[in-house]
C-alpha cells in the first residue's frame, strides 16, 4: 500500500484527488466464474497492466521511479496483454493493448478513454469498476468481520468501518438503531449484533408496521387472562419472550405514540407491565430498532417521541442502498447465487446479462437482486442470458455510469442515422472512436458540425474527456 511520500507524489503530478486518498479498481465479476471473490486494487501506481494469466494475481513492481500494478486474470476471453491504465494529469487513461476481443467502457468498445468515477470496464468476460477518490491510502483489501458473518461483506471503506464499529458495540448493552431503505439488510445486521453479543436468550423480531394498533401493547408487553374480550389465557408478550436475548423492532417509526410511551418506560425501568396485570416483571434484553423512514423528521413533526429516539439511537448504522454499493455487487452475487444453487454447479453469465445486472438501479435493493438471481438460476441452462432476467433489466431500467443502455453506432444500412436516432450513446461511441473530433463525428453522421455541437450541449456530453 502507499505511504505519505507516495501521496505527495500523486498530488504533485496533478491527480484530481484529495491528499491521502487514491482511486481504486474493483474487480467485480468474472462471468465464467461468478462465485469467485471480488477484490479492490488501490491505484497508487503509475501504470496498471491487465493481462491473461494462469491464476488470479496482483503484483506490484517498482522500476526506478515508476510503480506498476500487474493484474493477471484467468479469463480465456482476454488477450495475453489486454489493456493498460496510465496515470495522467487528469486522472487515469485506459488504453486497449490491441486485444482480440476489445475493451469496453460502459458497454462501448473503445481503444482509449479517460476514466471517470463509476466507469464500468470489460476485459474479456471480466468486469471492473473504476472509482476515483475511493480509498484512503493504507485501506486494507478486506471484508469486515461483522459484515462477512451477516451477508454484508463490503469493499466500501465507509461501510466497512461502520460494521467494524457495530461489532464492537454489539458486545455492550448499547441499543442499536439501523437505518436504510427496504431490502438493504437491516435484519441481517440485527441478527449479527445478537450473535456477536453472545446473549443467552432468543433473537425475537417484530415488524411494528404490521401490528394492529389495538393490539400493539398486548403483543409487545403481554396480557393477563381476562384483560379484555378474547384474552382467554396469559401471554408473555415479545419483551418477556426475548428475556436475556435481543428484541428487534423493525419499522419502529410505525409504532403508535401510546405504544412509544410504554416502550420508553420499559427501556428506562427494565420492567414490563402486561395488559391487565398489576405488577411489573423485570426483563433483561437488548433492543435493536430499524426503520426506512427519517426518524429525526418524525420527531420534528411530533409523530415520534424525542426521548424514545434518544433511547434507541445509542449507536446508529446507516446502510446504503444497493445503487450506491456497485463495488459490492460481485460479493453479493456470489453469496446469493451460492444460496440459490443449493449445491448445484454454478451457471456462467453472458456479458449482456452481467452488464444489465451491474448497471441496474435496484430500487428494492438486495432483496430484489436475490429474487432476480434465484429466478435466473431456475430459467437458465448452464448460462444466465439477458432473456432470463426480469423485464425491468432487459428494457434498460438501469443506468450504466451516465451512459445508460448502449445502442448501435450506426444504422445497419450504412446511411446516416435520422435525427431521432442520434442518441447520447451513439454520440459518445463516435466521440470515443474519433478521440473527440467533432468534425470526424459530423462526417460520419453526414451532419453539420453546428448540429453536432447542439446535440453535445443538449445531452451535456463533456467532449474534453475524449480528446486524449
* pTM across the whole model: 0.76
- What pLDDT, on the 0 to 100 scale, is given for residue 12? 26
- Average pLDDT (423-427) is 78
Contact between residue 126 and residue 29 where contact means Cβ atoms under 8 Å apart:
yes
Q: What's the sign of the alpha-carbon dihedral 54, 55, 56, 60? A: negative
- What pLDDT, on the 0 to 100 scale, is given for residue 4? 31
Pick the range with the lowest mean pLDDT from 8-17, 170-179, 285-294, 325-334: 8-17
CA 327 to chain centre: 6
- What pLDDT, on the 0 to 100 scale, is given for residue 356? 94
Under the banding of pLDDT at 50, 70 and 90, the label for residue 86 is very high
Round to whole Å and give the CA distance between 453 and 456.
5
406-424 b/e (C-beta count within 10 Å ≥ 16 → b): bbebbeeeeeebeeeebbb
**Cell representation of residue 146:** 461483522
- What pLDDT, on the 0 to 100 scale, is given for residue 430? 83
Res 139 pLDDT > 70: no
- State the CATH architecture for 157-318: 3-Layer(aba) Sandwich (3.40)
- What pLDDT, on the 0 to 100 scale, is given for residue 150? 59
**Cell representation of residue 54:** 494462469
Crossing angle of helices 424-433 and 449-458, in 10° steps, is 120
Question: Which residues face 120 on adjacent strands?
Answer: 129
Q: What's the sign of the alpha-carbon dihedral 95, 20, 400, 387? A: positive
**Is the fold of 4-136 the same as that of 324-394?**
no
Contact between residue 153 and residue 144 where contact means Cβ atoms under 8 Å apart:
yes
CA 363 to chain centre: 12
Under the banding of pLDDT at 50, 70 and 90, the label for residue 434 is confident
- What pLDDT, on the 0 to 100 scale, is given for residue 444? 77
- Within 313-364, where are the H helices? 329-341, 351-359
Structural fold of domain 4-136: Tumour Suppressor Smad4 (2.60.200)
- What pLDDT, on the 0 to 100 scale, is given for residue 137? 55
Structural fold of domain 324-394: Helicase, Ruva Protein; domain 3 (1.10.8)
- Average pLDDT (53-75) is 93
DSSP 2: -
Round to whole Å and give the CA distance between 430 and 456.
12
What is the three-state SS of 187-253? HHHHHHHHHHHCCCCCEEEEEHHHCCHHHHHHHHHCECCCCCCCCCCCECHHHHHCCCCEEEEECHH
SS3 278: coil
Res 345 pLDDT > 80: yes
Q: Where are the domains of the chain?
A: 4-136, 157-318, 324-394, 419-466
- Share the mean pLDDT of the chain: 82
- What pLDDT, on the 0 to 100 scale, is given for residue 375? 95
pLDDT in tens, 349-368: 999 999 999 999 999 999 99
Round to whole Å and give the CA distance between 158 and 275.
44
Amino acid at each position: 500500500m502507499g505511504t505519505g511520500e507516495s501521496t505527495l507524489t500523486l498530488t504533485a503530478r496533478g491527480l484530481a484527488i484529495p491528499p491521502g486518498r487514491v482511486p481504486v479498481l474493483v474487480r467485480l465479476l468474472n462471468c465464467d466464474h461468478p462465485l469467485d471473490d471480488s477484490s479492490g486494487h488501490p491505484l497508487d501506481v503509475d501504470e496498471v497492466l491487465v493481462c491473461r494469466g494462469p491464476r488470479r494475481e496482483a503484483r506490484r513492481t517498482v522500476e526506478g521511479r515508476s510503480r506498476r500494478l500487474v493484474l493477471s486474470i484467468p479469463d480465456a476471453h482476454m488477450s495475453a496483454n489486454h489493456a493498460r491504465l496510465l496515470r495522467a494529469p487528469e486522472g487515469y487513461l485506459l488504453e486497449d493493448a490491441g486485444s482480440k476481443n476489445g475493451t469496453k467502457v460502459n458497454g462501448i468498445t473503445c481503444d482509449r478513454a479517460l476514466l471517470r468515477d463509476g466507469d464500468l470496464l470489460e476485459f474479456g468476460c471480466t468486469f471492473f469498476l473504476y472509482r476515483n477518490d475511493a480509498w484512503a491510502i493504507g485501506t486494507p483489501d478486506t471484508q469486515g468481520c461483522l459484515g462477512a458473518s451477516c451477508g454484508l461483506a463490503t469493499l466500501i471503506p465507509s461501510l466497512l468501518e461502520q460494521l467494524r464499529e457495530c461489532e464492537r458495540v454489539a458486545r455492550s448493552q448499547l441499543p442499536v438503531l439501523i437505518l436504510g431503505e427496504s431490502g438493504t439488510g437491516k435484519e441481517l445486521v440485527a441478527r449479527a449484533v445478537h450473535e456477536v453479543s453472545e446473549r443467552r436468550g432468543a433473537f425475537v423480531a417484530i415488524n411494528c408496521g404490521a401490528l394492529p394498533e389495538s393490539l400493539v401493547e398486548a403483543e409487545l408487553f403481554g396480557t393477563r387472562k381476562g384483560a379484555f374480550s378474547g384474552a382467554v389465557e396469559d401471554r408473555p408478550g415479545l419483551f418477556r419472550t426475548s428475556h436475556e436475548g435481543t428484541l428487534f423492532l423493525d419499522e419502529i417509526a410505525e409504532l403508535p405514540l401510546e405504544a412509544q410511551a410504554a416502550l420508553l418506560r420499559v427501556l428506562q425501568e427494565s420492567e414490563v407491565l402486561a395488559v391487565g396485570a398489576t405488577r411489573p416483571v423485570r426483563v433483561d434484553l437488548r433492543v435493536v430498532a430499524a426503520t426506512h423512514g427519517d426518524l429525526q423528521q418524525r420527531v420534528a413533526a411530533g409523530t415520534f417521541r424525542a426521548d424514545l429516539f434518544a433511547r434507541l439511537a445509542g449507536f446508529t448504522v446507516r446502510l446504503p442502498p444497493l445503487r450506491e454499493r456497485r463495488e459490492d455487487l460481485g460479493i453479493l452475487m456470489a453469496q446469493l447465487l451460492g444460496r440459490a444453487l443449493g449445491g448445484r454447479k454454478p451457471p456462467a453469465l453472458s456479458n449482456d446479462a452481467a452488464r444489465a445486472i451491474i448497471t441496474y438501479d435496484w430500487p428494492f435493493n438486495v432483496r430484489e437482486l436475490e429474487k432476480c438471481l434465484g429466478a435466473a438460476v431456475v430459467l437458465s441452462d448452464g448460462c444466465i442470458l439477458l432473456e432470463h432476467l426480469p423485464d425491468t433489466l432487459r428494457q434498460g431500467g438501469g443506468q450504466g455510469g451516465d451512459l445508460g443502455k448502449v445502442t448501435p453506432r450506426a444504422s445497419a444500412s450504412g446511411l446516416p442515422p435520422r435525427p431521432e436516432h442520434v442518441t447520447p450513446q451513439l454520440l459518445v461511441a463516435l466521440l470515443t472512436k474519433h478521440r473527440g473530433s467533432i468534425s470526424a463525428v459530423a462526417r460520419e453522421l453526414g451532419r453539420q458540425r453546428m448540429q453536432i455541437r447542439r446535440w453535445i450541449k443538449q445531452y451535456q456530453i463533456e467532449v474534453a474527456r475524449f480528446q486524449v
